[in-house]
Amino acid sequence: PSMSTFNTSEIEISIFFLIGIPGMEHANIWVSIPICLMYLVAILGNCTILFFIKSEPPLHEPMYYFLSMLALSDLGLSLSSLPTMIRIFLFNAPGISPDACFVQEFFIHGFSAMESSVLLIMSFDHFIAICHPLKYTSILTSARVINIGLAFSLKNVLLILPFPFTLKHLRYCKKNLLSHSYCLHQDVMKLACSDNKVNVIYGLFVAATGILDLTFIFMSYMMILKAVLSIASQKQRLKVLNTCVSHICAVLIFYVPIISLDVIYQFAQHSPAIIRILMADVFLLVPPLTNPIVYCMKSQQIRNMILGKLCQKHS
């Protein structure tokens, strides 16, 4: 379809066009193979974690409840972007109606905010386990863990809920080409031909809540480090730090692409479009793919249960 179909300012746009990888449109079907594989592994991996945490009583502990929240966020993130990615790369159909676009960006931003919250909750979990081990079970009871999960979920729904409504309030008339393979708030609002000041300000507010999460995660680790350095035995120090490795990996895998994408949007607007697009795809595809792998490798309990189930099937 012609990208500049609607070029007059009077006509209200009735369709947006998403973008694949620029310059590689002819190879979309080949690009779709690794993308479909990544989605398959991510969805299977997170479903496996959820299945084992639900069905195995030894895993009914706060740490694993938080891990199941992370797996749910990852699953949501994968399923939110899957429809448009498959349509672009597999069926060469980049068109999307504005309403479908607003719904998609609500879910993508909602699950991203939830992932950020879960990573923050997990850092507090590590902080209590390492700095106040004797109080751990009395602080993090099952009921409290569930309430924390529900409170953060509600906070994120309310935080992201204004996004689709403020976008729907804008008028779209001149431009209809988006710059990613899925709908993002900052991307859609740039297409508007009416005043989008409210969207810009609210978008910055939501970004600030993410930075706040990251700040608290950093502070948790400062206190954990302080507690670890007071342990006399080096072997014990490494053992304690080792319990945090998978969480640190999850934090880096999630935040590095987001921060890089924001920096590119703010300061390097003339950078090649392919860098922005690949960064945005990494942010959505990689965390749900790598988190289950990292946690299964690092958590001996989950690893043993998965291996036990597999051996049962073979015997």
Does residue 7 form part of some domain?
Answer: no
Please determine, for residue 271, whether its predicted confidence score (pLDDT) is greater than 80. no
Q: Which domain does 108 fall in, by range? A: 25-310
pLDDT at 26: 79
User: Which of the four pLDDT bands, split at 50, 70 and 90, describes residue 315?
Assistant: low
* pLDDT tens, position by position, 11-69: 778 899 998 887 777 788 888 899 999 999 999 999 999 999 998 888 888 989 999 99
Does residue 11 form part of some domain?
Answer: no
Judged on CB neighbours under 10 Å (0-12, 13-18, 19+), 308 is: exposed
User: Which of the four pLDDT bands, split at 50, 70 and 90, describes residue 91?
Assistant: confident
Does residue 18 form part of some domain?
Answer: no
Does residue 2 form part of some domain?
Answer: no
CATH of the domain at 247: 1.20.1070.10
Please determine, for residue 273, whether its predicted confidence score (pLDDT) is greater than 80. no
User: Which of the four pLDDT bands, split at 50, 70 and 90, describes residue 146?
Assistant: very high
* Amino acid at residue number 204: L
Does residue 19 form part of some domain?
Answer: no
DSSP-assigned states of every residue in 102-143: HHHHHHHHHHHHHHHHHHHHHHHHHHHHHH-TTTHHHHS-HH
Say how many domains are in the chain. Answer: 1
Contact between 97 and 14 (Cβ < 8 Å):
yes
Rounded Cα gap, residues 218 and 224, in angstroms: 10
Does residue 5 form part of some domain?
Answer: no
Does residue 140 form part of some domain?
Answer: yes
* pLDDT tens, position by position, 201-249: 999 999 999 999 999 999 999 999 998 888 878 888 888 888 888 899 9
Rounded Cα gap, residues 60 and 55, in angstroms: 9
